[in-house]
Amino acid sequence: MRRKEFSIDEEQEIHEFLFGMSFGFLGTIGEDGRPRVTPLNYVYDKGIFYFHGSRIGEKMEHIKAYPYVSFSVADEYAVIPSYFTDPSLACPATSFFKSVTASGRAEVVQDLEEKAAAFTLLMKKLQPEGGYDKVDASNPVYASRLRNVAVVKIVTDHISAKFKFGQNLTEGKREQVLCGLEARGAKRDAETAQHVRNSIPISRNRKSDKDAEAAKYDD
């Protein structure tokens, strides 16, 4: 069961995460009932995932047989070793990450204009500096290529997200993790620490404020 303190409901935050990532995992089922997970590049726009590939192959056969699919995107920020918070137990070892899982119906795009629009979005993500001719369905060079490539869109009916940055930790444990990240100084540790600070549940902040107020009157 997903812990509620890790769930993310803010649509804009989910959108920004999906827009910033370029790689995800497509889950399909074949006619024989066997599952398949395919890693691939994608773009996300207004509740729809787009990806492209060959018009033939196992992935496309799965989609034709069972068009209802899943799609997942994840980004691991940092591994949190157990000794950050406990000198002997292995149990606290974990990682902090963002993940989004979606499900919906996969549809093969036939319209060349929609294909061109999907590739335009993909190129903006993969090659933002430009250096290529505009993807235009009316351009004969592009039109022939658009006809010969498969573009699939997933029209989502459910999206859920989990952004885990120590929301379940006590204030003391959280400070230990922050100190560990600062001391280690790995590539994304500073960024991870900022997410930890930004992810403190409001209820915990309120509790800390109450505790601090009560402490003023302690002997």
Report yes or no: 70 and 101 within 8 Å, Cβ to Cβ. Answer: yes
Number of domains the chain contains: 1
The whole-number pLDDT of residue 3 equals: 58
The whole-number pLDDT of residue 206 equals: 43
Domain assignment present for 189: no
Residues of the chain under the 50 pLDDT cut: 1, 204-219
Report yes or no: 81 and 181 within 8 Å, Cβ to Cβ. Answer: no
Tell me the pLDDT tens digit for each residue of 144-195.
999 999 999 999 999 999 999 999 999 999 999 999 999 999 999 999 999 9
Q: Domain residues for 160? A: 4-168
Domain assignment present for 187: no
Domain assignment present for 180: no
Alpha carbons 138 and 146: distance in angstroms, whole number = 10
Alpha carbons 17 and 109: distance in angstroms, whole number = 25
* CB burial readout 140-173, b (16+ within 10 A) else e: eebeeebeeebbbbbebeebebebbbbbebeeee
* Other Cβ atoms within 10 Å of 87 Cβ, number: 6
pTM: 0.85
Q: What's at 180, amino acid-wise?
A: G
Domain assignment present for 207: no
Domain assignment present for 211: no
List the beta strands (DSSP E) in 4-149. 23-29, 35-41, 43-45, 48-53, 68-80, 94-109
Domain assignment present for 201: no
Q: Please identify which residue in the block is written with the tokens 């599952």.
A: 35
Domain assignment present for 176: no
CATH of the domain at 110: 2.30.110.10
Domain assignment present for 151: yes
The whole-number pLDDT of residue 11 equals: 86
The whole-number pLDDT of residue 2 equals: 52
